[in-house]
């Protein structure tokens, strides 16, 4: 009877060791640094981003600036699709 108990205990220990090694192998240790993704300076290629950024930097003074009002109007027209006939599918 002692030999059967020893064999069972050995089998349980081998199984537990196998599970522990498998868990350690699957666990990510975090030493690898992720590759940084490229950062786009002007995503989408906004043509008026310079004018709009200038108006943003002006703050409240931009409300009375004619250049900023024209830039905002053009941006609204492009964003909302006003004044241009939308192509039909």
Q: Which two structure tokens, joined as six digits, stand for 87?
A: 């192509």
Confidence category of residue 11, pLDDT binned at 50, 70, 90: very high
Q: What is the pTM of this model?
A: 0.42
Is 55 within 8 Å of 71 (Cβ atoms)?
Answer: yes
Measured in degrees and rounded to the nearest 5, phi and psi for residue 37 equal: -80, 150
Q: In whole angstroms, what is the distance from residue 89 CA to residue 78 CA?
A: 20
Q: In whole angstroms, what is the distance from residue 77 CA to residue 87 CA?
A: 16
pLDDT for position 41: 58
The pLDDT tens digits of the residues spanning 17-66 come to: 999 998 888 886 666 677 777 666 555 666 677 888 889 898 899 999 99
Is 67 within 8 Å of 51 (Cβ atoms)?
Answer: yes
């Amino acid at each position: 009877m002692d030999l059967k108990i020893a064999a069972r205990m050995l089998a349980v220990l081998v199984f537990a060791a196998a599970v522990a090694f498998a868990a350690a192998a699957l666990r990510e240790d975090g030493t690898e640094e992720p590759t940084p993704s490229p950062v786009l300076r002007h995503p989408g290629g906004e043509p008026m981003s310079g004018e709009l950024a200038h108006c943003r930097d002006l703050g409240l003074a931009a409300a009375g600036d004619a250049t900023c009002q024209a830039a905002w109007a053009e941006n609204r027209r492009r964003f909302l699709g006003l004044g241009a006939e939308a192509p039909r599918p």
